[in-house]
Every structure is written in C-alpha cells, then in structure tokens.
Structure 1
C-alpha cells in the first residue's frame, strides 16, 4: 500500500508545503518509525514532538527550520463528503415537479 504524506516545513518566516511517500504493510497506517524513516530519506533528522498532531522537531540544534507538521495522510481510499453548496445549486436548477414529456 502507498501513502502520500502532505506536510509543512515551518521556517521562521515561511512555510513550505511538501509531500512524501510511505509504503506501510497492507491494511496498516504509517507508524512513527515510518514517518521518521521517510523524513530521514529526505534529509531531515527529526524526533516526534507531538504524537496527536504529528509535529516533528529537528534533532540538530542548527537546523534551518523550526518544525515539520504532517497535514494529511492520503491512503488512496475514497472518502465521500457531501458538497452542500453544489447540492443547493443543482436543486435550484432542477424542476420541482416531475411531469411527463
């Protein structure tokens, strides 16, 4: 299984939005070790600071960034969310009563 990890690298005056890949075992979500290995492969040496919000801090005191925060873990599974605005527009365009042609 392939997971796309969307994350932010937070610097003093800017934020870079980046992505990475993790290949966890089938049916499992990425572990702390998976995240740390992905970041290490990208050149970031980190430790997990906040497990609930997936915030990672650099282990090197001279790092050029403050922290990294994972925004989204995309496992490729479809998720459905009803778009209420689109539903409202479509219902306004459709006739209220159905009548024979």
Structure 2
C-alpha cells in the first residue's frame, strides 16, 4: 500500500508544509518506525516526541527546525486518518452544550 504523508516542518521563521511517501507491504497504517525511515531518507534525523498526532523533534541540537508534525495521511481510501482538531474545536464552540427541549 502507498501512503502519502502530509507534514509540517516548524522553523523559527515559520512552518513549511511538505509531503512524503511511505510504501507498506500490507494493509496497515504506518508505525513510528515507518515515519522515521521516511524522514531519515529525506535528511531529517529525529525521535518521536508525541504520538497523537505524531510529532518528532531533531536529535541534533543544532538543527535548523524545531519539530516535525504529521498533519494527515492519505492511503487512497475515502476516510482521513487524522482529525482536524481546529475544526472540531470550532464546531464544539458553535454547538450548545446541552440540547434544548422543544
């Protein structure tokens, strides 16, 4: 299976949106090591900082970036594998906490 990984590279001066590709032999979602292999092939040397959403920090203290966050994963199927937390928060603020009776 082929997975397109959308991720953000956070620099002091801003965020750069990039994409990568992971090939999997079976029908599963990428694991931590799959992300690390992809990012290492792209020249980033990282370790996992947080797992939801996957967030990696550089192992080199002199790196020109602060962190890399996995934003979205496209497996070619219709469902999206990471929820948009900003959208979820906005919807939660717009909806009433308790339903009103008619």
- Give TM-score, length-normalised by structure 1: 0.76
What number of residue pairs does the alignment pair up?
A: 80
Q: Which residue of 1 aligns with 2:5?
A: 5
Note the residue ranges of structure 1 that are not aligned, 5 or more in a row: 81-101
- Distance in 2 (CA, whole Å) between partners of 1:30 and 1:79 is 15
Q: Note the aligned Cα RMSD (angstroms).
A: 1.3
Rate the CA distance shift 1:78–1:17 in 2: closer, same or farther, 3 A. same
- Distance in 1 (CA, whole Å) between partners of 2:63 and 2:31 is 24
Note the residue ranges of structure 2 that are not aligned, 5 or more in a row: 81-102
- Counting strand residues as a fraction of each chain, which structure ranks higher? 2
Q: Which residue of 1 aligns with 2:65?
A: 65
Tell me the CA shift for residue 61 of structure 1.
0.2
Larger Rg: 1
**Superposed CA offset, 1:19-60 (max 9, x none):** 000012221110100000000000000000001121000000
- Give TM-score, length-normalised by structure 2: 0.75
- Distance in 2 (CA, whole Å) between partners of 1:76 and 1:20 is 14
Q: Which runs of 4+ in 1 moved over 3 A?
A: none
Tell me the CA shift for residue 13 of structure 1.
1.6
Tell me the CA shift for residue 16 of structure 1.
0.4
